[in-house]
Amino acid sequence: MGNNAAGLYALTEEHEAIREAVRDIAEREIAPYAAEVDADSRFPVEAQKALTAAGFHATHIPEAYGGEGADAIATCIVIEEVARVDASASLIPAVNKLGSMPVILAGSEDLKQRVLRPIAAGEAMISYGLSEREAGSDAAAMRTRARLDGDSWVLNGTKAWITNSGISEWYTVMAVTDPEKGANGISAFAVHRDDPGFAVGPKERKMGIKGSPTCELYFTDCTIPADRIVGEPGTGFKTALRTLDFTRPTIGAQAVGIAQGALDAAVAYVRERKQFGKAVAEFQGVQFMLADMEMRIEAARHLVYVAAAAGEQGHPDVTRVSASAKAFASDVAMQVTTDAVQLFGGAGYTQDFPVERMMRDAKITQIYEGTNQIQRMVIARSLLR
């Protein structure tokens, strides 16, 4: 990161305006449904409608394809402010970016027009299919295959833990096209849910982010037109890794938002709650916990914005700083939400307050888009190279 990564960004008036607008929508149209979405494990349709109506569902898509063309920090702010009230809902803009980034980075002009336009218009969503049951952190060990058959690609295999599966219309799927070449034999494809031989499995029963469906994807001689390959054959894994440089900061943003929501709830609660004849907020032990929570969130937020800007500016250290932002912010979210539950005491352990949900939701940010153990490997490898 050298000495110059911190100088990569400055928040603009436009960024602040976006934060204000999204916070308003989140408080009014997303927060009231968050507990019910979690309890019923149902997709947050209210959030989807509200975000789409305001143009905040996929702000990253370039204007050339009907999108807002927002910068990476703006997209992080949108995700952060939605996650502050409902982490499940924040996966709408986050996964739209994750699924479409490979197409933006490597897709043909024709494929970009076909896939990105409906997403920008809010008519479709897109998911990302990299992981498999036996190929998680070791994604290159994937077994899903694709073979060229005339003017079609035929896919066979299974993808696992796919976010927003069943809701999304489009799926960016990584599959092996040349088994001899290892990671250099993996290609990326844009699959549509109506393609023959494609099916979505049952929903996983999860600890958190229950409003966002997570399922397996099944490919049984799934046949797609040859021009739906994303980039050249054999470049899919490189595209997948480049994508993560751009999307790991969005997971950091999600983590920051969850942590901020938990801190805000905790501050409000300890001011009201009385014990030993005074507000719990008057105890120094409590004040120090709040101070630590605030410091960590603020540090994480800045690191996330630095990482977002690094991706946009093609900074040479983007991989390292993105991994740092994701790992640091998600560890902060887990710590802050755990402390928030503690500050609520017995009440925090019940579903009458949002902090137990935030704690459950925070956990996934340490796991998906590369576990924090993998992020540490990425950071160390970059330092020692």
Domains in the chain, ordered, with CATH?
5-120 (1.10.540.10), 126-233 (2.40.110.10), 237-384 (1.20.140.10)
- Quick check: 6 pLDDT over 80? no
- Average pLDDT (293-319) is 97
Q: Do residues 217 and 204 make contact, with C-beta atoms less than 8 angstroms apart?
A: no
Establish whether 312 is a catalytic residue: no
8: confidence class by pLDDT, cuts 50, 70, 90: confident
Tell me the average pLDDT across 226-232.
98
Q: Is the pTM of this model over 0.95?
A: yes
- Both tokens of 9, joined, read 């960004």
Mean residue pLDDT of the chain comes to: 97
Contacts of 351 (CB under 8 A, 6+ apart): 35, 39, 357
- If one compares 22 and 6, the residue with the highest pLDDT of the two is 22
Q: Give the residue-averaged pLDDT of 228-234.
A: 98
Instruction: Please say if the pLDDT value at position 96 is more than 70.
Output: yes
Upper half-sphere CA count for residue 319 (Cβ side, 13 Å): 15
pLDDT at 2 over 70: no
% of residues, the chain, pLDDT over 90: 98
pLDDT: is 335 or 7 the higher one? 335
pLDDT value at position 95?
A: 98
Say if residues 170 and 124 touch (Cβ distance below 8 Å).
Answer: yes
Per-residue pLDDT of 175-213, as tens digits, reads 999 999 999 999 999 999 999 999 999 999 999 999 999
Q: In whole angstroms, what is the distance from residue 59 CA to residue 92 CA?
A: 11
The gap from C-alpha 158 to its chain's centroid, in whole angstroms, comes to 21
Could you give the C-alpha distances from 268 to 280, 337, 344, 352, in angstroms and in order? 11, 14, 10, 15
Over residues 72-87, the pLDDT tens digits come to 999 999 999 999 999 9
High-pLDDT (> 70) share of the chain, %: 98
CA 292/CA 273 separation, integer angstroms: 20
Give per-residue pLDDT as tens, 146-164: 999 999 999 999 999 999 9
Helix then strand count (H, E) for the chain reads 11, 10
The string over 309-334, giving b where at least 16 C-beta atoms fall within 10 Å of a residue's C-beta and e elsewhere, is bbbbeebebbbbbbbbbbbbbbbbbb
| pLDDT score, position 271 | 98
Q: How far apart are the first and last CA of the chain?
A: 13
* Token pair in block for residue 93: 């803009």
* Total residue count of the chain as it appears in this document: 385
**pLDDT tens digit sequence for 237-286:** 999 999 999 999 999 999 999 999 999 999 999 999 999 999 999 999 99
Count the alpha carbons within 13 Å of 54 in the hemisphere toward its beta carbon. 22
Instruction: pLDDT band for 5, please (50, 70, 90 cuts).
Output: low
Catalytic residue among 29, 81, 216, 369: 369
For residue 1, is pLDDT > 60?
A: no
Contact yes or no for 147/222 (Cβ under 8 A): no
Q: Averaged over 207-226, what is the pLDDT?
A: 98
Does the CA dihedral 76-55-105-223 come out positive or negative?
positive
